[in-house]
Structure 1
Amino acid sequence: MTFALRLKIISLLSFTLLVIVTALLAWSSRELTLAERNHLVADKIQSTVFNRATMRDEYFLFGIERARQQWFSMNDAAIHLLAQGAQQFDGTEEQGLVRARLALAESVQISKRLVEQMRRVPVADPAAAHHDEFASRLYSQIMLSDSALQREAVSLQQYARDRFQSASNRMIYLTLLLVILMALVTILNSAFLNGVLHRRMAAIKRGAEVIASGDLNSGIEVEGNDELSELARLFNSVTCQIRDYTQALHDSEKRYRMQLQELANIYTHTPVGLFAVDRDLRFLRLNEHLARLNGKSICEHVGRTVDEVLAPELVVHLKELWRPILERGECVRDVELQGRVGPAEKDQRYWLASYQPLLSEAGEVSGLMGVVLDITERKVAEEMLAGARQHLEEEVQQRTAKLQLTNEHLIQEIEIRKKVEVELLAQQQKLQDMSLDLAMAEERERDRIASELHDQVGQRLILAKIKLDALASGIPAGECECEAAAVGTLVQQTIQDIRSLTFQIRPPLLASAGLEAALRWLGEELHADFGLEAEFCDDGKDKTLPYEIRSTVFQAVRELMLNVIKHAGTLRCRVVLSRSDGGLVIAVDDDGVGYRNEQDAAETRSGGFGLANVRQKIQHLGGSFSVTSKETGGTVATIKVPLGS
Structure 2
Amino acid sequence: MSKSIGRAGAAPRFRDRIPKRHLWFGAASLVVSAVVACLYLLQNADATMPLWGYRSDDLILAITFSVNLLTGVTLVGAARREIRSDQQRNLAEQQVLERERQLRTILQQMPAAVCVMTSAHEVVLLNDNYRKLFSNANAPHLTVHTDFDAFSPSGERYTVDRWPCRRALRTGEIVHGEDMLLSVGNGDRVWLSVSAAPTPSSTGAPSSVVIVFSDITSRRFIEEANANALKAIMRAQESERLRIARELHDELGQDLTALSIGLKGLEATALDADRKGRLAGFRRTVEMLSRHVRAITTELRPLVLADFGLRKALAELAEGWGERLDIDVDVHLDDLPERLPESSELVAYRVVQEALTNVAKHANAHSISLTARLSDGQLRIVIEDDGLGFAPSTQSPDEAHHFGLTGILERLLTVGGTLEVESSPGFGTTLFVNLPILEEAADGRALYRLSH
Q: What is the TM-score with the length of structure 2 in the denominator? A: 0.45
Q: Which has the higher strand share?
A: 2
Larger RCO: Structure 1 or Structure 2 (Cα < 8 Å, ≥ 6 residues apart)? 2
Larger Rg computed on CA atoms: 1
Task: Provide TM-score, normalisation by structure 1.
Answer: 0.33
